Each structure stands twice: as C-alpha cells, then as structure tokens.
C-alpha cells in the first residue's frame, strides 16, 4: 500500500479576493431571498450567482486547501458523509477546519456554494459529480481522490461511460507527480483502467452484485471474464489488481493485517464497502483509524437516505436508487409488504427509463408493490412481466395514504419507499427532512 508523500499546502486567502468576496456576498443575498420566498434552500442559486459574477470562483475556492474528492455513480453522497465525519473526528474539528458539500450539490455551482460558506476552512471534503472530476483534479490538486464505481446513470446525460473515464484518465496523467493518492474500486474494470495513469493507488475490493456495465475491456475491447472473486481480460494485461483493503465479516481489513470493526448506522453490504473506502481515504489523510471509525459511526441518514419519518399518517423508511446498479443493491434491503416504488424521469432522474428492464424485480414476487410517481405506468409494465402483484397510484401523497398500507406498519417496521431522485426529494420535503 503506497502512502502519500506529498506535503499538504498551507491554506491562504484566494487570489483576487475583492472580486470573489463581492460575488460571494451577492450569492448569499440570493440564497437568503430564495429561502424567504420558499423557493428552496438557496444552495444552488448561491453558487450560480457567485460564479456568474466571478467566473474564476471555482478555481480560487479550491486552491490552497487539503482536498479529498469523492466521486462515482453510486454511493458518493454517503461516502462523502462518512469521510467528512471521519476527518472531523480525527482533526477534532470545531466547525472551522472542515467544509463539505455532502448533501448532493456536486456540480461546479454546488461546490462553489459550499466552499464560499467557509472560504478559510483548510480542509474540504467534496462530493464531485463525474463531469467535474477532471476540473477538480486540474484546479484543486486534491490530496485524495476516491473513485467508487462507474455505472450507467441518466443515460441521456452521461452517454458512454468510457468517455468520462478518458477524461479522468487524462486528468490523472496530466497531474503527474502532483496528482492525488487515489482510493479506487479494484472490482470495477473501468476504474482500474483509469487508474493506470494515477500517481499512486490504494485498491479496495468491493465485490459488487452488479457487473453488467463491465462487459467489455476498456483497454482493448475484449470480452471480460468475471470469476467469483475477480475479473480479467483474456486479450490484454488488464486484470483486477490485488486489494489493499476489503470487507470481511463486518470488518474493514487491510493487506497489512489490520482489522477494523465497521459499526455503522446505515444498512447494506455496499455501505460496508463505502465505509472501507472512506476509512482508507481518512488514513491516507493522516487520521487515526479509531477516530475515523468513531466519526463514521455517527452517520445515520446522509441527505435523507435511510431516514425514517411520517408522511400522510404512514411511517416510512426512505431509500434512494437512481440506476440499475443502485436498485440491484437497494431492493434486497426492502422488507415491507406492501412496498412503495416511486419513479420519475425528469432531468435529475434521467429521461430514459429503459433501465427498468435491467433490474431484477422478479425478486419481489409474493409481495405487493404500490407504483407511484409520474412514470408509475412504466414501472407497472415491468412488474407485470416480472409477475409481481402491484397497483398504480400515481400521486405520491395519495399512495402513502392508501388503505393498502393500513395495518402493515408500526413504529418498529415502517413501510419501505424506494424511489428515484426527484420523488425522493419530494418525500424528504413531505417528511420534514429537507
């Protein structure tokens, strides 16, 4: 396991601070107006106004901090929360040392909005959209970069995954010896290919359920061979690297022989691997493992995920999944019967819902599903072919008021509601979580 030898840069005030301060002030005013008029939290408009008035705000705000960037198709919000909690615990942060955008505002505007709230914080833990990674590496020179996975998501937005991979690979190559220590998913062939150009890599074996997006070798185009424990390309040298970290019986285990109990308050095997990635990143940043683990144990419902609340008189547990890989990991977590599935297809969800046919809904046979949301009928067609009993109630609030739910939940056993991004945000608002 190669450890970072680069000395973190000392934080300093951003250049051109007068222009930036004026832009930040205008952004804060716009955010306040947004909140007062009930239009939203103001986080997005704050970043938009700031960057409109100072186009160099992103570059200036990421400069001269210790940065850990977290990206990937699935799990980046939760992992960012875990890493932030780990670093704050290790640094004994009093609220001035660490800034983060851990609630999902991960494009340029969102990052500017978060960093502008704490321009002097020396450490930033940044959830980073896949399309922002190259800029984050080029302009922010992160100390650590966590690469979780690559999977189809919002097919009309990101298109071919390899194109994004090429951007990441080129950014890491251009960074050279100033590049980040990469905490990378050894189980994802595209991530492994990207990291061939990285300065140094710590590999985490995640053992995912979903491998349908890693059929072809990103290096030569050959058909990859997936065995029970690893993968390789029979036509070129690309293969799964030896892991530095992995999960074993609820422990994060390192190749050096360290074993750390993962005492988490968020469910799912995939969150054990997310926590292991966060732990590996925290260790690379100089955080003691015990402090990091104590911090991560405080994470309960990152940005509303896994939160329990009451909506329309029904106690519910909220789960978010946005693509086939996410649904493959999340569906086994659902236990309620009936189960509520909410689907939409606006820009934030991705307008192409053909991915519904890649999800194994057959595992829900024997349970009743309430299909809700603007694209509930698309889901109903898929469930019909899966031979899963279901009803359609397109209005989200009406679905949660349905008599079908009466008598099927109590304080210890809420109704599981699994949804795509836009219905999830509405559920958060209805449940008083946003």
Q: Which residues are annotated as a binding site?
A: 217, 220, 233, 236
Query: 361, exposed or middle or buried, with CB in 10 Å at 0-12, 13-18, 19+?
Result: buried
Going by the annotation, the residues of the binding site for Zn(2+) are 217, 220, 233, 236
The residues, any chain, with a CB within 8 Å of residue 367's CB and separated by 6 or more, are 337, 338, 339, 388, 389
Q: Two tokens at 88? A: 């704050």
First to last CA, the chain: 40
- Helix, strand, or coil here: 144? strand
The catalytic residue positions are 352
Q: Please name which of 72, 36, 89, 48 lies closest in space to residue 293, comparing C-alpha atoms.
A: 89
Buried b (16+ CB within 10 A) or exposed e, 255-290: eeeeebebebebebbbbbbbbbbbbbbbbbbebebe
Compute CA distances 161 → 62, 166, 189, 219, 236, whole Å.
26, 9, 12, 13, 20
Q: Please name which of 407, 403, 382 lies closest in space to residue 393, comparing C-alpha atoms.
A: 403
Cα atoms in the Cβ-side hemisphere of radius 13 Å centred on 355:
25
Compute CA distances 236 → 109, 217, 220, whole Å.
40, 9, 7
Quote the CA–CA distance of 162 and 407 in Å, as a whole number.
48
What angle (nearest 5°) sits at the alpha carbon of residue 320, between those of residues 145 and 142? 10
Q: Tokens 């309430």 correspond to what residue?
A: 370
């Amino acid at each position: 396991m190669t450890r970072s030898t680069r000395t973190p840069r000392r934080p300093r005030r951003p250049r051109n601070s007068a222009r930036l301060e004026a832009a930040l002030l205008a952004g804060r005013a716009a955010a306040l107006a947004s909140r007062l008029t009930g239009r939203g939290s103001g986080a997005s408009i704050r970043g938009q106004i700031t960057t409109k008035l100072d186009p160099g705000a992103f570059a200036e705000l990421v400069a001269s901090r210790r940065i850990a960037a977290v990206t990937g198709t699935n799990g980046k919000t939760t992992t960012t929360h875990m890493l932030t909690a780990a670093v704050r615990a290790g640094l004994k942060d009093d609220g001035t040392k660490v800034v983060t955008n851990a609630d999902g505002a991960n494009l340029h505007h969102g990052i500017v909005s978060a960093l502008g709230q704490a321009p002097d914080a020396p450490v930033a833990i940044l959830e980073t959209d896949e399309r922002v990674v190259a800029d984050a590496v080029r302009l922010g020179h992160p100390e650590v970069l966590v690469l979780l996975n690559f999977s189809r998501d919002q097919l009309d937005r990101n298109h071919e995954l390899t194109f994004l991979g090429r951007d990441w690979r080129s950014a890491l190559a251009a960074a050279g010896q100033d590049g980040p220590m990469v905490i990378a998913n050894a189980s994802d062939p595209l991530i492994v290919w990207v990291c061939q150009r990285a300065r140094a890599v710590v590999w985490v074996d995640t053992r995912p359920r979903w491998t349908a997006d890693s059929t072809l070798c990103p290096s030569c185009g050959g058909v990859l061979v997936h065995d029970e424990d690893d993968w390789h390309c029979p036509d070129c040298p690309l293969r799964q690297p030896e892991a530095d970290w992995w999960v074993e019986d609820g422990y994060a285990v390192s190749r050096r022989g360290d074993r750390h109990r993962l005492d988490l308050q968020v469910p799912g095997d995939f969150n054990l691997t997310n926590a292991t990635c966060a732990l590996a990143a925290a260790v690379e940043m100089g955080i003691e493992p015990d402090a990091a683990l104590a911090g991560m144990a405080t994470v309960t419902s990152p940005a509303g995920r896994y939160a329990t609340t009451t909506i329309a008189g029904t106690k519910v547990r909220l789960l978010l999944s946005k693509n086939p890989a996410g649904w493959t990991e999340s569906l086994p977590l659902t236990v309620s019967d009936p189960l509520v599935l909410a689907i939409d297809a606006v820009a934030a969800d991705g307008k192409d819902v053909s991915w519904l046919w890649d999800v194994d809904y057959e595992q829900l046979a024997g349970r009743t599903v309430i299909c809700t949301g603007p694209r509930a009928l698309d889901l109903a067609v898929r469930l019909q072919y899966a031979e899963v009993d279901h009803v359609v109630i397109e209005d989200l609030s009406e679905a949660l008021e349905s008599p079908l739910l009466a008598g099927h939940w109590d304080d210890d056993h809420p109704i599981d509601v699994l949804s795509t991004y836009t219905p999830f945000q509405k559920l958060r608002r209805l449940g008083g979580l946003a």
